[in-house]
Amino acid sequence: MPALISHAEFSKDFYLFLCPILFTIGAVGLMIRKNMIVMLMCIELMLNSVNLLLVSFANFFGQGDAHIFVFFIVVVAAAEATVGLSIILMAFRNLRSIDVDMFKKLKN
Amino acid sequence: MTNEQLLYLILLLPLAGAAINGIFGKKLSEKLIGTIGTLMVAIPFLTAASIFASFDKPIHVHAFTMLEMDSFRLDAGFKLDSLSLWMTMIITGIGSLIHIFSIGYMHDDKGFYKFFTYLNLFVFSMLILVLGDNYMMLFFGWEGVGVCSFLLIGFHYADKIKGMENSLAARKAFIMNRIGDLGLLVACFLLLGKFGTLNYDQIGIATILGEFQKDSVFMISVTLSLFLAATGKSAQIPLFTWLPDAMAGPTPVSALIHAATMVTAGIYLTIRSNFLFELAPFTQHIILFIGLATALVAAFIAMKQNDIKKVLAYSTVSQLGFMFVALGLGAYTVALFHVTTHAFFKALLFLGSGSVIHANHHEQDITKMGGLKKYMPTTHLVFLVGTLAISGFPFLSGFFSKDEIFAAAFGHGYLVFGLMVLAAAMTTTYMFRMYFLVFHGTFRGDSHTEKHLHESGSLMTLPLIVLAILSVIGGALNLPSFLAGDHAHWMNHFLEETTLGLALVHPHHLEDGTAIGIMIGTTLITLSLIFWAYSVYAKTNYPISKEQQFKGWAEWSSNKLYIDELYNALFVKPTEFISARLLMIVDKNLLYDSILKLTSGIQIGGNQVRKIQTGMLSNYLYFMIVGVILFVGYSLYYFKFWNY
């Protein structure tokens, strides 16, 4: 793999593999972990894997349009993290736990 | 005000009266309700009379367009020609007299305000019927009067003893009228398909100018449909049985709706459509036949009825038959003349009977009356006038109008003429049987009622006196030529002047000598029958049991020829039988069960699906991601992504 990471030549293929792997890690982490903070981090991971893909393609095609999307996503992710963290905070205050399965209580 | 504005005034005042009495009536006093109700009909009468005084050409008013599709337009328009003006004057004139009478008759009734609301609403609908300038407006009025008739027949639906009977009578009238209304609708559609319009004038001109073949299938089907509508509203065979039952309503209702105005709507419809009927001689023969049969059958049934209102009801049916005979003979103006005089004397007789019933504590059986002459002198006098008028006593209104019909029948053939005279003779017989049984002899009711026998108040007798005067002089409207010379047949000329098509119809006119001969002959028959009835029924010790048990033909007459039983067996019972089966098989078994199965199926399915809602976030995520993968995978496959 060292050849792939070489700084001199940019390899599209490297990012084409890296991003889905990061995304999958995020998605699987979201499904199997119960800790809400970790889940939030997984979501961030998925968002940023997409960002990375966008940026790398922008670089590859030599066009800057995708950067706009990336900025949007970063802003939205920040907002989402704020809201998510405050929800987690409130949940912890009420339930003394940040286990996501505690939300089962909302079902009935 | 212009004539157009006056026309709106005539139309809208009764509606305003109905609105005021209907909305605020509960809080108003009887006097106020009665005054409003009466004024809202009387003012239109005066308005119509003022138009009549200077009437020379038809008035057309286009109110608004109800419906507009590419080639078809439905207008709410009104037309005031001599025919509709005449009908308007009958409706509002007789209507206001009956309103006055009702103030006295309905005194202390719980539904006093409702009664006046319905009456005003009826007058409004009837005016729409006669003033509309197309068949659709006529249809609206037609349905409106049907509803009001229904409401007023079943007016005392909550009565402890007779409530059920009243409701059933109202239902029967409504349903039988529906059959006729179907005919009217079919006729409307046929006319619309052929002429593309429902306007009387346009259709009339098209039929008069266009060279239509006589007795074409189209003309026969249109006219027969119209006639079916007329048999429903005007109570002719086979749809006449509702009218006698309709007597369950309060007596002023019987006088206004079921004698003077609404039941003549069928005759108005036929006169209005004269240009169509003239093109279908076949239908005219049917009308003649039905009218004749109705006149005879109803007169026969009236011979042995003991309910004072039933006698008058069958008499109405019979007189309507007379009018249809005239229509069948093409003598439209004669039919309207009889409508007019009949409205006078039949309203008089009904209101008179109302006065009698009022005095007798709502007893309607004539075998329990008798000798009322000395208790109710005014009612007796006006009732006698009405009876003489309907019997065709010389120089009263009925004499002239019936004579016109006899003359037309005589021109057509001896058989029709003979049967008409027979029907008229029966009319005299049953009317005088009733008159003598009610007013002569000795009182046969219980002593309690006898003590309270009294003449009705002036609110009730005043309209009676006015109607009696009209019944006497009404014949002057249309005198035969040997009596009035140049001024003869004034009403015929008045109608022919502006009513489309009527001037083109000229039924056979008789020589003066023949006409006088017919008059003398019928008068002799009438007089001898009156004397016969006097000698039989006016005796003080007349064995009344004879009138309570009938044998032979009288049994058939008193049982109304078993026509109600026949209809029950033929139509009502089979319908009920089928309905009961349909209820069991289709509704209970098929529909109800299948819906039950459907709901339980949904419930079971729902219970299964509910299980996937675990409340575990990771499960939901799992479903979501699987879904996204499936969706994306399918899209890739569908758009053959790998080819790019």
Task: Kindly state the average pLDDT of the residues B577-597.
Answer: 91
Contacts of A34 in chain B (CB under 8 A): 618
pLDDT at B316 (0 to 100): 95
How far does A104 lie from chain B, in Å, by closest CA? 5
On whether both B594 and B518 belong to a single domain, the answer is no
CB within 8 Å of A97: residues ≥ 6 apart: A91
Both tokens assigned to B394: 């010389």
Report d(CA B493, CA B450) in Å as an integer.
Answer: 51
Terminal C-alpha separation, chain B = 85
Task: Note whether B636 contacts A: Cβ–Cβ < 8 A.
Answer: no
Burial class (CB in 10 A: 0-12, 13-18, 19+), B331: buried
B532-561 pLDDT tens trace: 999 888 877 777 777 777 878 888 888 888
What count of CB pairs under 8 Å joins A to B? 24
CA distance A5 to A61: 20
Instruction: For chain A, say whether B624 makes contact (Cβ under 8 Å).
Output: no
**Residue A37 located in a structural domain:** yes
How confident is the model over B54-97, as pLDDT tens digits? Answer: 888 888 999 888 888 877 888 889 999 999 999 999 999 999 99
Whether B241 is covered by a domain: the verdict is no
Residue A77 within any structural domain of the chain: yes
Report if residue A5 sits inside a domain: no
Structure token pair of residue B61: 């008013």
Residue B211 inside a domain? The answer is no
What is the helix (H) or strand (E) element at residue B82, kind and residue range? helix B82-105
B171-195 pLDDT, tens digit per residue, is 999 999 999 999 999 999 999 988 8
Shared domain check, B548 and B568: no
pLDDT of residue B455: 85
pLDDT (tens digit per residue) in A43-93: 999 999 999 999 988 888 888 888 899 999 999 999 999 999 999 998 889
Looking at the fold, whether B599 and B454 belong to one and the same domain comes out as no
Average pLDDT value for chain B: 90
Decide if B622 touches A, using CB distance below 8 A: yes
Question: How confident is the model at residue B508, as a pLDDT?
Answer: 67
In B38-116, at which residue ranges do the beta strands (DSSP E only) sit? 59-69, 72-80
The answer to whether residue A105 sits within a structural domain is no
Tokens of B191: 């006319």
B68 in a structural domain: no
At CB < 8 Å, which residues of chain A contact B? 27, 30-32, 34, 100-101, 103-107
Asked if B479 and B574 sit in the same domain, the reply is: no
pLDDT tens digits for range A31-47: 888 888 999 999 999 99
B513 touches chain A (CB under 8 A): no
Total count of domains within chain B? 3
Determine the pLDDT at residue B644: 59
Which residue segment(s) compose the domain that B328 sits in?
A: 280-552
Q: Where are the beta strands (DSSP E) in B286-395?
A: none
Instruction: State the residue for tokens 């609301």.
Output: B117
Q: Whose CA is closest to B261, among B86, B14, B423?
A: B86
Residue B108 in any domain: the answer is no
Q: Distance of alpha carbon B518 from its chain centroid, rounded?
A: 31
Same domain, B371 and B452: yes
The three-state (H, E, C) secondary structure of B580-639, written as one string = HHHHHHHHHHHHHHHHHHHHHHHHHHHHHHHCCCCCCHHHHHHHHHHHHHHHHHHHHHHC
The CATH number given to whatever domain includes residue A79 is: 1.10.287.3510
Number of domains in chain A: 1
**Domain assignment of residue B380, yes or no:** yes
Same domain for B298 and B403?
yes
Instruction: Find out whether B342 and B401 touch, Cβ atoms under 8 Å.
Output: yes
B527 and B544 housed in the same domain: yes
Give the number of other Cβ atoms within 10 Å of residue A75's Cβ: 10
Q: What is the DSSP letter of B60?
A: E
Q: Tens digit of pLDDT for each residue in B329-346?
A: 988 999 999 999 999 999
A60 within a domain of the structure (yes/no): yes
Q: Are residues B628 and B598 in the same domain?
A: no
pLDDT of residue B305 exceeding 70: yes
Across the interface, whether the CB atoms of A103 and B617 are under 8 A apart is answered yes
Q: Per the CB < 8 Å rule, is B614 touching A104?
A: yes
Asked if A104 and B625 come within 8 Å (Cβ–Cβ), the reply is no
> Is B625 near chain A, with CB under 8 Å?
yes
State chain A's mean pLDDT as an integer: 84
Structural domain that includes position A76: 11-96
Please say if the pLDDT value at position B470 is more than 90. Answer: yes
Share of chain B above pLDDT 90, in %: 59
CB < 8 Å to A25, chain B: none
Q: Which of B615, B616, B625 sits opposite A27 (nearest CB)?
A: B625
Q: Tokens 């509709």 appear where?
A: B84
HEC profile for B533-548? HHHHHCCCCCCHHHHC
Cα B166 to Cα B159: distance, rounded to the nearest angstrom: 8
Three-state secondary structure readout of chain A: CHHHHCCCCCCHHHHHHHHHHHHHHHHHHHHHCCEHHHHHHHHHHHHHHHHHHHHHHHHHHCCCHHHHHHHHHHHHHHHHHHHHHHHHHHHHHHHCCCEHHHHHHHCC
Nearest 10 degrees: CA dihedral of B51, B56, B57, B58?
40
The answer to whether residue B107 sits within a structural domain is no
Residues B480 and B575 both lie in one domain? no
Q: Is residue A53 part of a domain?
A: yes
Residue B10 counted as domain residue: no
CB B32 within 8 A of CB B39: no
Which residues of chain A are within 8 Å of residue B621 when distances are taken between CB atoms? 27, 30-31
Evaluated on CA atoms B139, B145, B151, B156, the torsion sign reads: negative
CA dist list (Å): B512 to B131, B295, B506: 37, 27, 17
Assign 3-class secondary structure to B394-410: CCCHHHHHHHHHHHHHH
Q: Do B322 and B442 fall into the same domain?
A: yes
- Residue A9: the pLDDT is 54
Query: Are residues B643 and B584 part of one domain?
Result: no
B395 and B419 in a single domain? The answer is yes
Q: Would the CB atoms of A100 and B622 count as touching at under 8 Å? A: no
What is the per-residue pLDDT for A108? 62
Q: How far apart are CA B40 and CA B15, in angstroms?
A: 8
**Does residue B533 form part of some domain?**
yes
